[in-house]
Structure 1
Amino acid sequence: MASTVTTEPSENPAAPSRPGYGQLLRTRGAWTFLLPGFAARQPFAMLTLSIVLLVQHTTGSYGAAGAVAAVTGVSMALFAPYSGRLADRHGQRAVLIPGVLVHTLSGMSLTALALSHAPLWALFAAAVPTGASVPQVGPMVRARWGVRLQGSPLMATAAAFESVTDELTFVVGPLLATALCTTVDPAAGLVTEAALTLLGGLLFAARRSTQPPVTAGGHARVRQASALRVPGVRVLIVTFLGIGSVFGGMQVSLAAFSESIGEPGLNGVLYGTFAAGNMLSGIACGAIAWKSAPQRRLVLGYTALALAASALWTAHSALPLAGLGLLVGMCIAPALITGYTLVENLVAAGARTEAFTWLTGAVALGQAAAVTVAGQLEDRLWDGAGFLVPLGGTLLALVTLLALRSRLVAPPRHRTVARGVGHRSPVPVD
């Protein structure tokens, strides 16, 4: 009961309906984990594209590059929830430090194997630990906000701010990866990604005072196991798989388009435009005091995303493609923000870190599948065929969302615990 009512603004009449970003960033101790956390998030934005550009350079095949990147993404998706569960049980620092060390070593091994023209199976073998050890900093930062802002109306603003930060990494990351791989060295993207992971991850782990407290082992296991059992979480996972298909399909298809017109450096600009639209709409979403229910916003926003993604394959020149990419990006942020907001309503506080990692993993898995399929389509069909992947992924997820949207409503038990269990109201009798 407490976890439900403390987020209501009515408990603090003096608070505005939607506190601003400035007030959020003045939260004591926030910058001590936000800055290193931003650096440590770069793997999610740089890793896939850096692998695609490096492996395509060494093998000449987008199909092979997409397959290696897909193995990395699948490994990250499979291990992300367990990382969140271990962080709840043993503390973020205990999970993060060995994780960033393994990721750095694995990334360097993958880079060396690619440059030495190792067989594809060897690249797959190195891609598994590289993806499995990607630090889940985004969910960890969200969990730290929960500790700092428990019972505060700023939690809604923090959810929007975190989604904006995620999108900012997708502006900086692809631009940085493309610039490094095309102007410095094909391996420079992965090397920089590993260095940022190591530095940012260790600095983030060093901030012990802001990490959530460790929950007792047995109690934690019960709560953590319940996250995936919530029907609404499973619906959101499918929804986020569709979002991942947009990220993966755009990464491969934009890279292939840029190379086909003899301007490989244009890839970063086009993808950055897509990500910039995502970030700008995220900022706007966080500043609006929404009156409609989040379930309705998710359905409307996702419908717009599917329609915009359906038009990508029709663009045959850079300018229309940039415009459509901007539009698609503007449709993604509302869906992401609303999905994370729904987790706050659907999942008990003790299981939210795991729930966040399931959604993050779903994006990674959708991205991995999209990279694989888009790479094969670009190799086997016409230039731009990879853009069919965001179309198919979002439409399938939208059908699922429309069919199961009723499961996104929190069950009444969250609001009626205090009334007792199994007792009927007394009625008069003669």
Structure 2
Amino acid sequence: MASTVTTSKDAATSRPGYGRLLRTRGAWTFLLPGFAARQPFAMLTLSIVLLVQHTTGSYGAAGAVAAVTGVAMALFAPYSGRLADRHGQRAVLVPGVLVHTLSGLALTTLALTDAPLWALFAAAVPTGASVPQVGPMVRARWGVKLKGSPLMATATAFESVTDEFTFVIGPLLATALCTAVDPAAGLVTEAGLTLVGGLLFAAQKGTQPTVAARAGRARVQHASALRAPGVRVLIVTFLGIGSVFGGMQVSLAAFSESIGNPGMNGVLYGVFAAGNMLAGIACGAIAWKTGPQRRMVLAYAGLALTASVLWTAHSALLLAGLGLLVGMCIAPALITGYTLVEDLVPAGARTEAFTWLTGAVALGQAAAVTAAGQLEDNLWDGAGFLVPMAGTVLALATLLALRSRLVTHPHGRTVARGVGHREPVAVD
């Protein structure tokens, strides 16, 4: 009994921190190149919107091209994740990075030469379909490094913080390059970062999950992640999150244009993403006592509420404040969603599950940029902000109706303070 009490006390008081996580041996070999290779998700849509709007003069056309890219990514991302689970990350990454770089440069060239819209759509398909799914791959590598360790909960939070940090850096970088250097500079830089970061990440063979180790369990482990009802619910909620990203990208750009200060777009989006990142850091440092299902509902309710008032803002200062609040509500929902995946699907299907969620964000973002672009073109300035409101409210209704499907069955795991998961240990 004494040893049991001691173990529980240790689990409860030794909440692993970010410093301990980052001292994990070999972690930086995939974290640094992985950060560079993640930039496409943060830069691609906005770079396309700014370039195509510059060459066509229409936010509707720009949003449509960006939407095609997002839909292609959403459709192909889960397939990419499944291939990575079956054949290894390197086998998927190398050809994907090369295709993405070439197709991104082709899209840039076509836009600059005033090619017809159908040609831009044609180039947008491979550009989106080949976006490297580095975030899910990094999460899978943490799973290998930290198997059975209480650090895994910290790693989940850290990865969400990293995602949010890319959404601080990416839009700022894309806006600065497109407005201060050249309208095409954002896409060109995005392609370069993808090529260099993706190839360096793929070269780190020692940290990628091994396929051979799972060969004996392939039939079970390679079942589609979609077979878990909870994953399907999470996909809907992540679609709503994507609607926030997409709707705000277009609407903030249109707002900045309407006040005669295009460079303000990067600042406003950066404030939104900074709120996301700061909330993510806090989430990783808190030892939660409430269950992840309840946290998901509360975080999403806050997101729907704050996103529903964006359209009322008529000044940059007020819009920045509301954007900060929206961002602070997104991070807890994202982190909790990824945390739930750890228990909803088996280890061999997690890369696919993560890419379904990433793809859902991309698909929601694609639909949002299209809708927001049309609203900005045809209605009043700021009408595009109605898209995040609609997307989050509909997703919240789905989440409330189907939240019971998010109940996980840990199968022998015990929970310490609601966050860390401990594998059963046999004591001789």
Task: Say which of 328, 339, 355 aligns to 1:357.
Answer: 355
Are the counterparts in 1 of residues 243 and 391 from structure 2 also a CA contact under 8 Å? yes
- Whole-Å Cα distance in 1 between the matches of residues 176 and 224 of structure 2? 43
In the other structure, the counterpart of 1:177 is: 174
- Whole-Å Cα distance in 1 between the matches of residues 412 and 22 of structure 2? 30
1:15-414 aligned within 5 A: 16-215=13-212, 219-220=217-218, 222-411=220-409
- Whole-Å Cα distance in 1 between the matches of residues 101 and 136 of structure 2? 20
Are the counterparts in 1 of residues 47 and 187 from structure 2 also a CA contact under 8 Å? yes
Q: Secondary structure at the match of 2:10?
A: coil
Deviations 1:17-65 (A, max 9, x none): 4200000000000000000000000000000000000000000000000
Are the counterparts in 1 of residues 343 and 410 from structure 2 also a CA contact under 8 Å? no
Are the counterparts in 2 of residues 88 and 220 from structure 1 also a CA contact under 8 Å? no
- Whole-Å Cα distance in 1 between the matches of residues 33 and 374 of structure 2? 37
- Whole-Å Cα distance in 1 between the matches of residues 113 and 301 of structure 2? 45
Quick one: which amino acid aligns to residue 155 of structure 1?
Answer: M
Question: TM-score normalised to the size of structure 1?
Answer: 0.92
Q: Secondary structure at the match of 2:227?
A: coil
Quick one: which amino acid aligns to residue 53 of structure 2?
Answer: Q
Quick one: which amino acid aligns to residue 151 of structure 2?
Answer: L
Instruction: Identify if the C-alpha distance between structure 1 residues 10 and 65 changes in structure 2 by more than 3 Å, giving closer, same or farther.
Output: farther
Are the counterparts in 2 of residues 80 and 136 from structure 1 also a CA contact under 8 Å? yes
RMSD between superposed Cα atoms in Å: 1.6
- Whole-Å Cα distance in 2 between the matches of residues 150 and 316 of structure 1? 49
- Whole-Å Cα distance in 1 between the matches of residues 219 and 140 of structure 2? 17
Quick one: which amino acid aligns to residue 385 of structure 2?
Answer: F
* More displaced stretch, 212-221 vs 187-196: 212-221
Q: Secondary structure at the match of 2:222?
A: helix
Deviations 1:183-214 (A, max 9, x none): 00000000000000000000000100000001
Question: TM-score normalised to the size of structure 2?
Answer: 0.93
- Whole-Å Cα distance in 2 between the matches of residues 116 and 221 of structure 1? 50
- Whole-Å Cα distance in 1 between the matches of residues 215 and 372 of structure 2? 43
- Whole-Å Cα distance in 2 between the matches of residues 12 and 77 of structure 1? 43
Deviations 1:338-390 (A, max 9, x none): 00000011111111111000000000000000000000000000000000000
How many residue pairs get aligned? The number is 408
Question: How far did 1:218 drift?
Answer: 8.3
Quick one: which amino acid aligns to residue 65 of structure 1?
Answer: A
Gaps of 5+ in 2: 1-5, 414-428
Question: How far did 1:414 drift?
Answer: 6.8
Are the counterparts in 2 of residues 43 and 193 from structure 1 also a CA contact under 8 Å? yes
Instruction: Identify if the C-alpha distance between structure 1 residues 151 and 169 changes in structure 2 by more than 3 Å, giving closer, same or farther.
Output: same
Question: How far did 1:225 drift?
Answer: 2.8
Question: How far did 1:13 drift?
Answer: 3.2
Quick one: which amino acid aligns to residue 410 of structure 1?
Answer: T
Are the counterparts in 2 of residues 224 and 354 from structure 1 also a CA contact under 8 Å? no
Identity of aligned pairs, percent?
86
Instruction: Identify if the C-alpha distance between structure 1 residues 10 and 253 changes in structure 2 by more than 3 Å, giving closer, same or farther.
Output: farther
- Whole-Å Cα distance in 1 between the matches of residues 265 and 181 of structure 2? 15
Gaps of 5+ in 1: 1-8, 416-430
- Whole-Å Cα distance in 2 between the matches of residues 183 and 411 of structure 1? 52
Quick one: which amino acid aligns to residue 309 of structure 1?
Answer: A
Are the counterparts in 1 of residues 376 and 383 from structure 2 also a CA contact under 8 Å? yes
Question: How far did 1:411 drift?
Answer: 4.2
Are the counterparts in 1 of residues 343 and 409 from structure 2 also a CA contact under 8 Å? no
Question: How far did 1:219 drift?
Answer: 4.4
- Whole-Å Cα distance in 2 between the matches of residues 86 and 217 of structure 1? 14
